[in-house]
Structure 1
Amino acid sequence: MSDTAVHLPRGRHLLVDLHGVGAAYLGDCLAIENLLRDAARAAGATPVGGEFHHFGPGLGVTGVLLLKESHISIHTWPEHGFAAVDVFMCGAAQPEKAVAVIEAALQAESVTRQEASRG
């Protein structure tokens, strides 16, 4: 007879859509990178690398912060006041704390959140 292990989700995946965000913030690549790093720290996560790209004047930023616990990614559309954020963390990290930091900084008029257990 073989032992069976209980299979529990290994991580939480939060998807956040932020509408009505100021265009200047959404087009600032350095500010977006710093925001994701602050969010990771707040969640108790450990950054291990990142890549951020600005698409040009008046356009948005796409970026990903790689974490020991997984990742935080963002894609922004300043011309629409919109940002899509993806926070996936496992272990003891608390992704909801990362989302709280991002929401506080972006001050969106409306926010939609979805959560999925992964693993």
Structure 2
Amino acid sequence: MKGLHLTADLYRCRCDEAWLTDPQKLGAWCVAAVQAVGLQAVNQLFHAFPATAKGKGGVTATVLLAESHVCLHTWPEEKAVTCDVYVCNFSGDHTAKARGLMFALVNRFQPEWTEQRSLDRGEEEA
């Protein structure tokens, strides 16, 4: 189950508001980004949350991959996004693809700053 888990917290995103509030727009772009880096989407779920007193509701976008998953959560009232990319390296090393996908996600939202983390998952083979 060796793999790579990448996370990014994006703050003060300068993208168009629709990227934070429109589940169809964000979802279609996520699927295209997955394909562009050479990963394989096998299912997807895009959900919009209702507006609150603070403004428009955010979106959760999840793309299940043959290699694992990508998931985003948006907070338009905060202009913030969390990104989660996990790939298992069972059938091959997908590390570069995961890093390329995270790079594309961060660039899509144009944050003023990010906090990114990388976690190697599973044990090394003996």
Q: Same fold (TM over 0.5)?
A: yes
> In the alignment, residue 73 of structure 2 is paired with which amino acid?
H
Task: Check if 1:46 corresponds to 2:20.
Answer: no
Residue 12, structure 1, aligned to residue 4, structure 2: yes
Structure 1: how far apart are the matches of 2:58 and 2:116?
A: 21
Deviation at 1:109, TM superposition (A): 1.1
Q: Which amino acid aligns with 1:109?
A: E
Contact 2:18/2:25 (8 A) holds in 1: no
**Alignment partners' CA distance in 2, 1:109 and 1:31:** 22
- Structure 2 equivalent of residue 87 of structure 1: 85
Give 1:76 deviation, angstroms. 0.6
One-letter amino acid matched to 2:116? R
Structure 1 residue matching 2:77: 3-state secondary structure:
helix
Query: Which deviations, in whole Å up to 9, do the C-alpha atoms of 1:14-43 show, x marking residues without a partner?
Result: 011111114332011112112321231233
Letter in 1 for 2:6: L
Q: How does 1:15-30 map to 2 (within 5 A)?
A: 15-21=7-13, 22=15, 23-30=17-24
Please state if 1:56 is matched with 2:59: no
Describe the SS at the equivalent of 2:57.
coil
Q: Which runs of 5+ in 2 are unaligned?
A: none
Q: Which amino acid aligns with 1:53?
A: H
- Could you tell which deviates more after superposition, 27-36 or 10-19? 27-36
| C-alpha distance in 1 between matches for 2:61 and 2:18 | 16
| Amino acid corresponding to residue 85 of structure 1 in structure 2 | C
Post-superposition, which runs of at least 4 consecutive aligned residues in structure 1 deviate over 3 A? Answer: none
Identify which of 63, 76, 79 aligns with 1:78. Answer: 76
TM, length-normalised to structure 1: 0.85
**TM-score (normalizing by structure 2):** 0.81
Identity %: 32
CA RMSD of aligned residues (A): 1.5
